[in-house]
Chain A
Amino acid sequence: MARDFSIRARCRNFGWPRDRGTPEIRGPTAGAKRRLIDRAVGKLLFLGALAAIVAVFFIIIFLLRDGYQIVLETGLWNFLAGTEWNPTGRNPAYGVFPLITGTLLVMALAMVIAVPLSIGSAVFIAEIASPRMKSVIKPAIELLAGIPSVVYGFFGLILLTDWIRVTFDQPSGSSWLAGSILLAIMSIPTITSVAEDAISSVPREFKEGSLALGATHWQTIRRVIVPGALSGISAAIILGMGRAIGETMAVLMVTGNAAVIPDPIYDVFSPVRTLTGTLGIEMGEVAFGSTHYHALFGVAVVLLFITLAINSLARVIITRIQGTQGVRSTPPRRVKAAIQRSTPYRAITGAASRIAHAVSAPLRGLVHPRTSQRGAFLLISLSVAIVIAALGVILFEIVVNGAGAITWEFLTGSPRDLGRAGGIFPAIVGTFYLVGGALAVALPLGIATAIYLIEYTADTALTRSIRTAVDLLNGTPSIVFGLFGFAFLVLFLGFGVSLIAGQITLGLMILPTIIRTTEEALRSVPGSLREGSYALGATKWQTTWRVVLPPAIPGILTGAILSIGRAAGETAPIMFTAAIFSTRFLPSSLTEPVMALPYHLFVLTTTVPGAATQSYGTAFVLLILVLAIYLAAILVRRRYSQAKVM
């Protein structure tokens, strides 16, 4: 039969319009089969995307399930506001107020230390540094993020507390100050990178306009760029706060763990105890089902709520600031508008701004703008120098002391004599197994969620809840993941302390990172590519698989690598779910417990006397491993960002 080239025939060939009542019996056309696959894949991706919500749901349920009894036993007010935490005394007391205070105080001082240093560093990297300096300092600060928290705790225990004790002539160095210094160092990379991103993305026109009007560089930074990046900077600070609140291992090792409220309240050398420290130090040893056990889960719930509150605060602040900048205007509420129009409000704000103006006036006249610029830049360079110096000191200490412990036997042997002799090979392998398993859990679910959110749906209530759940998971402290893994996987599902329990727990922990980075990667694929593909007749899944995913692979890879780094270094999630102190053999099945480098370091440092060399050696190996992974991520990112044609 001659081929029909009419338009009608061509449309029919293409599969449009659909044959509804054709008497001919034909099999499904290629188009119909493709659509079937498309729909099936869409449903699968939808199921995968629900994983985040399901995970959050389960975490909250299990924490509450084991925690609500404490409220029944002691009453909510006594639990939250009780000033004594003494679960094993003659008259047990379960008041978490000192713990909440400890957490907030440690975080507050950490932010006071970290925020100026980070904003200074961010400004330095974004505005002042030369491209060559930038290419060295930016990865250096990101490497600081890669150092595992137990290594920080180790460094703090061995060096920082003693230094504080000697320098400030205090009886003991384990204190609020030690905890805050460590937390500050640990949150600086987070705050710096996000703030630096925000500052870099202020439109060039703002800066150029300001300079054209004759302002100095510093005046531009201070009055145009930083205010312009304020929403990003606030987000950075809030993220840093979240990081500080959720940190367990480092504070556990250096704050002294005394459940007191410092007296007077500003006594930074007083020992304190945080919510996370309480969970870390008591969870592994509590009798299952006892009141103490329920109290600890209550502590976890309180911690989760505080994290939730900070997350929501972050989002509120960001939307508000974006609103005032005119990026997205939220119509003011009637009452609020009325207040803002009222005379007292206008008088107060007018007076405030006039006072601020007047106070700075004499200074303004006194100092030439160029001098104040030089002074400001000096301070900023100082802040970067302090941050880099902190990194240098930590790395130096560990490398110098740890390199000596590295022998072939150390790397390939099993631990002997409580870890004081022999090697750490089972721990190295255990870490690899844990990380591999965590990736196997998180990558499919994470990529599926991201693809579903970006490609398959618009902004609906469901996607908003998925995003909220992901945010929540992201902000959840690692010790809470550990507790959830313990309550759900080890006890409820009966896996026992096992490799699989650790892998699932770690997988849940890195899931938000994978989702977020994959989303970013998918979003950065130009829409025109997708449209071109659809125009050529491809289905959604074909487009996603063949057109959208390939250019997004580098971003996904970066996210995966960063997650590997994080999973390899975490102690809290595996402490109760997978780790044991010593075993001679490698795990032969998923249901056996494993050794892991971070946990091994933790036990060596806090439990085994006379194991200093081995501790340093383990810290060294762990550091090298994690830093190598982070370096790989940075290199991959740099290579692909330079190869991109923009």
Chain B
Amino acid sequence: MAGKGLSNMAAVAVIGTLVALLMIAGCLGSEGDSATSPSQQITVTGSTTVLPIAERAKEAFEANDASAEIMVSGGGSSVGVKAAGEGTADIGMSSRDLKSAETTGYPGLVKHHIADDAILLAVNPANSVESLTLDEIRGIYNGTYTNWNQVGGSDQQIVVVGRDSASGTREFFSEFVMDEEDFVRTQEEFNSNGGIQQKVSQTPGAIGYVGLGYTEGVKPLALNVDGTDVRPTLQNITSGTYPISRPLYMLTNGEPEGLAQRYIDFILSAEGQEIVASEDYIPVQG
């Protein structure tokens, strides 16, 4: 076997490339179109349900205003409320209403109702079940029913999938569907709508709750309300026939100013509400 292995030159080349890459990254400005640093920045954080709306709206907004920088991150509704209240973010996103502790703790919070959302019960497309009553859903999630054949499906173990403990979606589901009963202990928890959607689409016996925009690869169930099957269509949701719907909020500490105000106004404008609709959420009336 040869003696030295790598030559001096090769070793220097490898290390040099790494160093050069680091330096280039530092010296390079921002990408392509805009070389200036942002004149205004805001941070938007909170609910992962509202996140798609905020992201798409941000892209459309930034396409018109090259110097604006809107930094978006997830984390959950609780994070959004706290960040807006504490001032660590300019806008907080929430998919649930404020709790009493939060309204007393952050009295200056202003809610901007930017869209409506419905919670869908999603099952795997291979599942034969088409609709369930609210009681059956509650029974599945609190562990009373463990097999699909107990609720009109085939003989298959039910895999219960839900959100993690500080999610606004879970909070809403718990309050509205579960009557605040405890979830079954074997429920698998994911930290986002997307995670639940992925899990349900992969697992034949799974059931999960997701927002309206997360229906790819899964089958949303109709709700059996007093004998009639109510499908989660836009019409049923806006008319209130489909019972599990909720408002989505953007929160600011006091009235918004500057870039934050322009951004929220943009979302509430016709163009913004079109984006809301294109993401499969319900635009607010007027």
Contact = CB atoms under 8 A, between A and B. Distances in A.
Interface in A467-512: 496-497
A487 to B, nearest CB: 14
Contact of A636 (B15, B71, B185): B15
B73 A580 contact: yes
Contacts of B206: 171-172
A632 B202 CA distance: 39
A142 to B, nearest CB: 16
A178 to B, nearest CB: 12
Interface in B52-66: 52, 55-56, 58-59, 62
Contacts of B159: 171-172
Contacts of B187: 258
Contacts of A418: 51-52, 55-56
Nearest to A255: B188
Interface residues of B, number: 84
B82 interface: yes
Given A171-B203, A412-B32, A584-B69, A606 B164 contact: no
Contacts of B18: 628-629, 632
B280 to A, nearest CB: 12
A167 interface: no
A260 B88 contact: no
A124 interface: no
B29 A586 contact: yes
Nearest to A612: B198
A586 B71 CA distance: 11
Contact of A425 (B31, B62, B190): B31
B194 A607 contact: yes
Contact of B71 (A162, A172, A284, A583): A583
Contacts of B4: 639, 642-643
A581 to B, nearest CB: 4
A413 B69 CA distance: 15
B139 interface: no
Given A260-B185, A432-B22, A87 B6 contact: no
B31 A286 contact: no
A89 B171 CA distance: 10
Interface string A248-281: 0000000011111000000000110100000001
Contact of B166 (A286, A608, A642): A286
A208 interface: no
Given A171-B205, A433-B25, A606-B191, A586 B30 contact: yes
A161 B206 CA distance: 14
Contact of A88 (B37, B43, B52, B171): B171
A292 B99 CA distance: 15
Nearest to A92: B165
Interface string B16-30: 001001100110111
A339 B166 CA distance: 55
Interface in B173-196: 174, 180-183, 185-195
Given A89-B182, A584-B69, A607-B191, A285 B22 contact: no
B166 A256 contact: no
A282 B165 contact: yes
A610 B216 contact: yes
B29 A284 contact: no
Given A432-B25, A436-B22, A588-B37, A281 B82 contact: no
A286 B58 CA distance: 26
Q: Identify the interface centre among B26, B74, B156: most chain A CB within 10 Å of its CB.
A: B74
A570 to B, nearest CB: 18
B214 interface: yes
A581 B73 contact: yes
Contact of B190 (A432, A433, A606): A606
B5 interface: yes
A506 B185 CA distance: 35
Given A412-B32, A582-B72, A636 B188 contact: no
Interface in B106-165: 156-159, 164-165
B182 A86 contact: yes
A75 interface: no
Contact of B72 (A162, A257, A287, A581): A581
A260 B31 contact: no
Contacts of A609: 193-194, 197-198, 214, 216-217
A270 B115 CA distance: 39
B86 interface: yes
Given A172-B205, A416-B59, A282 B214 contact: no
Interface of B: 1, 3-6, 10-11, 14-15, 18, 21-22, 25-26, 28-32, 34, 37-38, 41, 43, 45, 48, 51-52, 55-56, 58-59, 62, 69, 71-76, 78-79, 81-82, 86, 88, 102, 156-159, 164-167, 170-171, 174, 180-183, 185-195, 197-199, 202-206, 214, 216-217
Interface of A: 84, 86-90, 131-132, 135, 157, 161-162, 165, 171-174, 256-260, 270-271, 273, 281-282, 284-288, 292, 412-414, 416-418, 423, 425-426, 428-429, 432-433, 436, 496-497, 579-586, 588, 592-593, 603, 606-610, 628-629, 631-632, 635-636, 638-639, 642-643
11 contacts: A88-B170, A165-B202, A256-B188, A271-B188, A281-B189, A417-B55, A582-B73, A585-B37, A592-B41, A606-B191, A642-B4
